[in-house]
Amino acid sequence: MADYVVQFGQDGRRVEADGRLDAPAYHRNFEAIWQALAPYLDRAAGDVVEVGSGTGQHVVEFARRSPDVTWWPSDLNEAHLKSIDAWRMHAQAGNVRAPVRIDLTDPAWCPQLQDGSGPGPLSAVFCANVVHIAPWNVAEGLLAGAAKYLQPDGLLFLYGPFKQGGQHTAVSNAVFDTSLRNGNPEWGVRDVADLEEVAAGVGLALQNTVAMPANNLILVFGRAG
């Protein structure tokens, strides 16, 4: 998986002694994201994996609001994994498990589910701000793994900027897309239709699209049919 555009902890912001990192975007978007997730998760139970947890701030906040859900954070970056665990300990979040190192380029990205050391079949997978700052095979692996690990009524939530019908939804997203591709031609704001096509190939379908602040969307995928 590609590195993040700005690796948390290397952006000049304070790093706590225990390794906790702070993401400015968290403070801007966590409330809006939860309001979109709440109809699905605030009374849910079971296991939810967050892929690409970054600093770990989202997962501990969402866990606080969904006490019957067991959250499994994950990332590939070692500094992020340390921060996630530090936030988990700081928040004393009993329903957040230790972070799992996963690589979304592998469609079998959660082997812990098979060997018994991880979650059971998943009620949901949540992924924020990943697919546009990673090569396309990360999106493919994410969708394939979700289809593999979600229980029959489980859902995949993708948050971030997306194109619709081949068009950006805002000028700012177009500018952002250009900056991403200039930095790495394998990155870029993805089109919803392209994600739907990959999803269809693994038995998932787009069930809902939720408009979010700052020209972002949440895409909700579930089992086709």
pLDDT of residue 196: 98
Q: So what's the pLDDT on residue 155? A: 97
Average pLDDT, the chain: 92
Per-residue model confidence as pLDDT tens digits over 51-65:
999 999 999 999 999
Whole-model pTM: value is 0.93
Residue type for 2, please?
A
In angstroms, the CA 12 to CA 105 distance is 29
With cut-offs at 50, 70 and 90, classify the pLDDT of residue 118: confident
Domain containing 137: what range? 24-161+191-223
Q: Tell whether the model's pLDDT for residue 189 goes beyond 90.
A: yes
172 in a domain, yes or no? no
Sign of the alpha-carbon dihedral angle for 52, 56, 57, 61 = positive
Q: Do the beta carbons of residue 26 and residue 58 sit within 8 Å?
A: yes
At 83-105, the pLDDT tens digits run 999 999 999 989 999 999 999 99
- Helix 24-41, helix 57-65: angle, nearest 10: 30
Asked if the structure places residue 154 within a domain, the reply is: yes
Give residue 1's pLDDT band: very low, low, confident or very high (50, 70, 90). Answer: very low
Q: Establish if 146 belongs to a structural domain.
A: yes
CB atoms within 10 A of CB 207: 13
Q: How many residues does the chain have?
A: 225
Alpha carbons 50 and 59: distance in angstroms, whole number: 7
In the numeric block, the tokens 């993805």 are attached to 190
Query: Residue 216 is part of a domain; what is its CATH number?
Result: 3.40.50.150
Please report whether residue 108 resides in a domain. Answer: yes
CB 2 within 8 A of CB 138: yes
Q: Is residue 168 part of a domain?
A: no
> Is residue 174 included in any domain, yes or no?
no
Residue predicted with more confidence, 35 or 8: 35
Among candidate residues 132, 157, 134, the one with its CA nearest the CA of residue 146: 157
Would you state the pLDDT for residue 15? Answer: 75
The conformation of residue 215, written as its DSSP 8-state character, comes to: G
pLDDT bin (cut points 50, 70, 90) of residue 188 is very high
Looking at the domain assignment, is residue 101 inside a domain?
yes
In-domain check, residue 1: no
* Beta bridge mates, 121: none
* Model confidence at 4: pLDDT above 50: no
Average pLDDT over residues 103-115: 88
Is residue 133 pLDDT above 70, yes or no?
Answer: yes
pLDDT at 122 over 90: yes
CB-hemisphere CA count at 13 Å for 53?
Answer: 38
Reported as a single tens digit per residue, the pLDDT across 152-177 is 999 999 999 999 999 999 999 999 99
> Based on the structure, what is the number of domains in the chain?
1
For the cut 50, the answer to whether the pLDDT of residue 187 exceeds it is yes
- Given a cut of 60, whether residue 3 has pLDDT beyond it is no
